[in-house]
Structure 1
Amino acid sequence: MKTSKQSLGHKEGLLGVLSSLGVLYIAVPMAAFFFFVASNWREITFAGVSSAAYVSVGATTLATVLDAVLAIPLAYLVATSSSSFMRLLGNLIRLPLGLPPLVAGVMLLLAFGPYTLVGRAFNGSLVNSFAAVTLAQLFVSLPFVFEIARSAFKADGPLSAAVASTLGFSKTKAFLYFASVENWPQLRSALALGWLRAFGEFGATILVAYHPYSLPIFTYVQFSGFGVPSAVGTVLVTLLFGALGSLFFLSIPSPRALLWRMKREKKRLKDPTPTAPHPISFSIEGSVDGFSLRLSHSGSAALSILGFSGSGKSLAISYLAGASLFKEVSSTSYLQIGESKGTTRAGYLGPYRVSWVPQVSYLSRGYRVYEELELIRRENGVSQDHLFELVDHFGVKDLLYREGRQLSGGQRQLVALVRAFLVYPDLVLMDEPFSALDFALRKRVQRKVALWLQQRSVSSILVTHDPEEAVILCEEILCVSNGEKVSSGGASEVFDEPGRIETAAVVGIDNVFPREYLDTLDFEVTCELAEDTRALGVRAHAIDVRYEKDAGLFQKEMLFVASARVSLCTTLGKRVRVLLSVEGLVDEVVADLESPSRFEVGDKVFFSIKEGVELK
């Protein structure tokens, strides 16, 4: 323990030394400058600085405003797109970050010089002018603002825009009302850094706008003509305005309140009268990063997709929501609701509304819960009565005036469910919507969702790992493994006769005994297996465990009896769960017993199988 503490202290000390060196490197030149100012205050002159300051501050402010108008929306488009063209465009915008400023100046002259097509159109006013200073500053600062904003938007990814789309918001509105508010601290920092980069621009400016003097150019003129002391006054003013400008942009408040108040309500929709839920069919064939997905289903209005992690369930449901993450997708892929067949666009497939509850709720961290729900209500022309009914039904009233960032994962999922049902969907897509809820609340919310789906005649597709959850909410089950369907059918059919080994574990069959193991048993196997049977699936409650002295008490109708050793024994209320290590099996055998018997780890026991299902 002493060695560990010493090692940790050594690491902290090294970190402190490196940090101190970084601070000193910046602080020493600044301290030397201010010491010179204090010692030579009377000799410092500010002649001509005011006009240069006017040019710099004015041009930099205009360039930063243009950065906000041009770079930030572009960053959102690039960050929320998966197309190769957008990636190429992003690289193009970043390119000036690696160019020497003088090279940027040459490029600007070739584009806007007095003898170019653009330059002649403006009578040569795009060089040696206030506009020229602004253009030079914009060219070097825009990539800075773009890259910081893109990184902020990229953290949410393309799915955030897709979720907003299913809630009725166009990409422009999703950017304005959600992405900009959610990422405002980062965007504010991007503008502050853009201001500083533009304010300090020298290399490009000296080629395209030597006159009128900006502060960097004026500093160079004074230094080259009269030496360091004559430039000190200009440097002092430059530091002052640079600090004030960056502080100004860092202190701009979030536009949340303004946008929320400006959001007008669309024409009120008439609450739809519930009809029978619509049958759902789909076919998906696509690939991404070497993973291929081929799924199809037809006919049911309430479907559950079951499968292990990484089997492609979320990839499939995101495609159905209109947020395809595929790099390649077959033209034959489709979603069909009723008679409408095609691809979900902006939350609609023909006349049918599609909403989505993704694994990550993408609940805005910038709004209070009520503000976000109210924005969605206004955008969709939904009545407040409908909103309040959902709030009461799902029990989120106490969360309404809390910000999204203040909610737990489970609370965010509850709000996401309210949000999805708020738009009167004909089909709701739910991707593990209860995964962050505690056990008791999960059961209660499952019942609430099932009740709402039934009362409002809403079709649904649920992605889940929980077989019991699938039975509660769905009529049919589609089991998926490695991107392909392995079985499908009615819930009772799939659970009672899973058919394949890949399906067995997904629907809650705890034990799979390979045929090779059964063939090696010393005890007689009393069941006859079909020739194409690969294994026997057995649920934990169908296994009995006894000590050798009690093995004779096994019922005669048992399928087979085998020996094992206890590797773990735990009490679950009135039941006992036993894990058995069995020679010849890779996985341990799981048994749930009603007997109060307590086994010790390492005990030799015998276990018997009451019933099982043949797996292919």
Structure 2
Amino acid sequence: MTQPAQRAARPLWWLGALLAVYLCAPFLASIPQIGQADWAGVDWSQTWSAVAVSAASASVAAVVILVGGVPLGYWLARSQSRAVALLGFVVQLPLALPPLTSGVLLLFLVGPYSGIGQLFNGALTDSFTGVVLAETFVAAPFLIVAARSAFTAVDPVYDDVAATLGHHAASRFFRVTLPVAWPAIRAGLALAWLRAFGEFGATVMVAYHPYSLPVYTYVVFGGQGLPAMMPLLLPTLAIAIVCAVLSVYSRGARSTQAVSQDNGDDLTAFTPATSAAERPDLRLAFAARRQLGAFTLDVAWQPQTRRLAIIGPSGSGKSLALRIVAGLEPNDAGSVTLGTTDLGALPPERRQIGYMPQDYGLFPHMTVAQQLAFPVDADAQSARYWLAHLGLDALTQRLPRELSFGQRQRVALARALTRHTQLLLFDEPFAALDTPRRRRLQQSLRTLQREIGAVTVIVTHDPDEAALLADEVLVIEHGRALQAGAIDEVFQRPATLRVAELLGLHNVGEGVVTAQGTIETRGGLRLPCADTSLATGTRVMWRVLPRALVAAPEGRWQGRAAGTSLRHGDRYVAIEIEGETFDIAADDRPSLAHNSVLRFDIDASGVLAWPAQDS
């Protein structure tokens, strides 16, 4: 039975088929005419001479277009200038102009009566040079458009990663950006060559002699008619067919199925060595300041350990701070130091760091072996060690698209570690993964952290990830630091309600000490507290541990069930007590219907309190 979606698509299929028939029909219509061709009257010497002129001039024009068109396409793709945008429009105009008009415009520039033409004594017209000039003018836009689109499509993260691996701008362009863009540029070059080979209008205006194949075909048609012209179509058709076959073959050869991404995420071959010794001198410190439009980042941090996390919501500036540490963004009047090294004074290619964006930044055109050899100061012995240690020995000839997420992560780590990196920066490394795979990879990275001596910085919005992979955490929002400190301290005593919210903490609130051992919450609930050191009238943050709420038939407080929630596989029941809502573990308790009422006691030893900060 035909599905509704298939029925809806059928008119579109017929429209496409109609155009396809029209485009194929002229080729089919020419087949019966082959018998009418005047083969005896063909001047083969002149024909092959015309073919040679067209092929040679198109090849020279293609080289000229390639040499100038690739840099121009890159410039157009990367520049934000309005003047450059206008230039991009102008250089594409030959696509819209009638070829004869293009020829007239060229005569204004290089004709025998123009300034340039007189400078060359008329040698730029009616010559092989004139043919090349005409073909270059009309065919160049095909390559420029392809190059511009190709460079626009190249993820800028590849350039960023290459910079952190020690490569300067020229090396990054020729070894990363250009190879990634090359398939599309190559297609544009092929179109430019074919357009130049078949160019007639501009060529006949600028260089009637020597005859190119299109001009010679026109001359024969005008002098001897259609039968004499028909054999001249064969070279053009043959070249077009060869190019089409090569294009299809090349496209088929490039299509490779990626392996399943359901396996290979664990460090199965990784047996941790002795934990790396802490280096007291290897500490990261930075003051990141950056103005981007209406957004201002102004964050300073001097942690005391080497496993760090920056946590915050989307748009908080955490990734920008990481890029400043990496040297990929300017730091306005800020600083970055690692131990005694002033990283802020160095460009990214000299900072000796490993930077891993969300998709790990593996270059799509390089095999695993090539990835590990790419860093400027890659250590071959270290590369072999990490290949074996991370279970990558059998993957050295695979491209990134043939690797699972876990394998990609390990390759990116190995690539960074081959250069004895002292600072590893991870920007949301697990954000795009499903929960089971994310948990496996987090544990794998934690295992590796215990072996290497590098400082690691994880940017994340997941508080559980920060707690697992870091010893210290920086919480930021709107470009400002909300709190920084040891993981246990920050999670136990969030500075503000907003910090508690960003850390996913529950049973936290603000209140005032009304008497020793008593805290009145904003909702009016009087909480008992074992800490009697806080003076009466002190504004505090409080937290009630789930174990502190005990259901008891004769309990002091009456609570009402307000719903259930599931967090990391554990079920919690929300209990409302005198205007405050608390989450308590529901695993060992009977199921509570919504709005059911129970009595509770609150254990004072499970109520934590500390002085509040300004929000």
**TM-score, shorter chain, exceeding 0.5:** yes
User: Counterpart in 2 of 1:241?
Assistant: 239
User: Is contact 2:562–2:573 with CA below 8 Å preserved after alignment?
Assistant: no
Is 1:294 the counterpart of 2:298 in the alignment? yes
Which of 288, 309, 317 lines up with 2:314 in the alignment? 309
Question: Which is greater in Rg?
Answer: 2
Change in 2 beyond 3 A, CA 1:402/1:105: same
Which of 135, 149, 152 lines up with 1:151 in the alignment? 149
Greater mean alpha carbon deviation, residues 56-65 or residues 296-305: 296-305
Change in 2 beyond 3 A, CA 1:567/1:459: closer
- Map of 1:265-280 to 2, 5 A cutoff? 276-280=281-285
Change in 2 beyond 3 A, CA 1:307/1:93: farther
User: Counterpart in 2 of 1:261?
Assistant: none
Separation in 1, partners of 2:248, 2:506: 57
Q: What is the CA-CA distance between 1:130 and the residue it aligns to?
A: 1.7
Change in 2 beyond 3 A, CA 1:241/1:449: same
Unaligned runs of 5+ in 1: 257-272
**Amino acid paired to 2:370:** E
**Partner deviation per Cα, 1:248-292 (whole Å, 9 max, x = no partner):** 577679999xxxxxxxxxxxxxxxx9963143213221216x554
Q: What is the CA-CA distance between 1:62 and the residue it aligns to?
A: 2.2
Q: What is the CA-CA distance between 1:144 and the residue it aligns to?
A: 1.6
**Partner deviation per Cα, 1:407-449 (whole Å, 9 max, x = no partner):** 1223212211111222223432221234448255324422334
Separation in 2, partners of 1:167, 1:22: 50
> Residue 284 of structure 1 aligns to a residue in which SS?
strand
**Partner deviation per Cα, 1:456-478 (whole Å, 9 max, x = no partner):** xx334321233344345445322
> Residue 438 of structure 1 aligns to a residue in which SS?
helix
Greater mean alpha carbon deviation, residues 53-62 or residues 233-242: 233-242
Separation in 2, partners of 1:64, 1:50: 21
**Amino acid paired to 2:496:** R
User: Counterpart in 2 of 1:259?
Assistant: none
Is 1:10 the counterpart of 2:26 in the alignment? no
User: Is contact 1:189–1:250 with CA below 8 Å preserved after alignment?
Assistant: no
Q: What is the CA-CA distance between 1:128 and the residue it aligns to?
A: 2.1
- Map of 1:244-263 to 2, 5 A cutoff? 244-245=242-243, 247-248=245-246
Change in 2 beyond 3 A, CA 1:150/1:501: farther
Change in 2 beyond 3 A, CA 1:442/1:157: closer
User: Counterpart in 2 of 1:262?
Assistant: none
User: Counterpart in 2 of 1:176?
Assistant: 174
Q: What is the CA-CA distance between 1:20 and the residue it aligns to?
A: 0.6
Separation in 2, partners of 1:592, 1:139: 75
User: Counterpart in 2 of 1:504?
Assistant: 500
Separation in 2, partners of 1:147, 1:543: 68
> Residue 560 of structure 2 aligns to a residue in which SS?
strand
User: Is contact 2:285–2:336 with CA below 8 Å preserved after alignment?
Assistant: yes
Q: What is the CA-CA distance between 1:124 and the residue it aligns to?
A: 3.2
Q: What is the CA-CA distance between 1:498 and the residue it aligns to?
A: 1.7
TM-score normalised over the length of structure 2: 0.79
Q: What is the CA-CA distance between 1:373 and the residue it aligns to?
A: 1.2
Separation in 1, partners of 2:410, 2:367: 14
Change in 2 beyond 3 A, CA 1:518/1:354: same
User: Counterpart in 1 of 2:25?
Assistant: 28
**Amino acid paired to 2:34:** A
User: Counterpart in 1 of 2:263?
Assistant: none
Which of 396, 401, 416 lines up with 2:397 in the alignment? 401
User: Is contact 2:563–2:573 with CA below 8 Å preserved after alignment?
Assistant: yes
**Amino acid paired to 1:144:** F
> Residue 219 of structure 1 aligns to a residue in which SS?
helix
Separation in 2, partners of 1:499, 1:99: 67
Separation in 2, partners of 1:607, 1:114: 102
> Residue 19 of structure 1 aligns to a residue in which SS?
helix
Q: What is the CA-CA distance between 1:356 and the residue it aligns to?
A: 0.8
Separation in 1, partners of 2:210, 2:536: 92
Greater mean alpha carbon deviation, residues 169-178 or residues 73-82: 73-82
User: Counterpart in 1 of 2:420?
Assistant: 424
Separation in 1, partners of 2:218, 2:130: 18
**Partner deviation per Cα, 1:557-587 (whole Å, 9 max, x = no partner):** xxx7642333456994xx54346799989xx
- Map of 1:207-606 to 2, 5 A cutoff? 207-245=205-243, 247-248=245-246, 276-287=281-292, 291-298=295-302, 300=304, 302=306, 303-324=308-329, 331-337=332-338, 338-340=340-342, 342=344, 344-348=346-350, 352-376=351-375, 379-380=376-377, 382-435=378-431, 436=433, 438-439=437-438, 441-454=440-453, 458-510=454-506, 519-520=522-523, 524-526=526-528, 541=546, 544=549, 550=552, 552-553=554-555, 562-568=559-565, 572=569, 576-578=571-573, 590-593=583-586, 595=588, 597-599=590-592
Unaligned runs of 5+ in 2: 255-276, 513-519
User: Is contact 1:564–1:606 with CA below 8 Å preserved after alignment?
Assistant: no
Greater mean alpha carbon deviation, residues 131-140 or residues 438-447: 438-447
Change in 2 beyond 3 A, CA 1:8/1:439: closer
Q: What is the CA-CA distance between 1:532 and the residue it aligns to?
A: 9.6
User: Counterpart in 2 of 1:268?
Assistant: none
Separation in 1, partners of 2:413, 2:79: 26
Separation in 2, partners of 1:402, 1:341: 34
TM-score normalised over the length of structure 1: 0.78
> Residue 311 of structure 1 aligns to a residue in which SS?
coil
Q: What is the CA-CA distance between 1:132 and the residue it aligns to?
A: 2.0
User: Is contact 1:577–1:593 with CA below 8 Å preserved after alignment?
Assistant: yes
Percent identity of paired positions between Structure 1 and Structure 2: 31
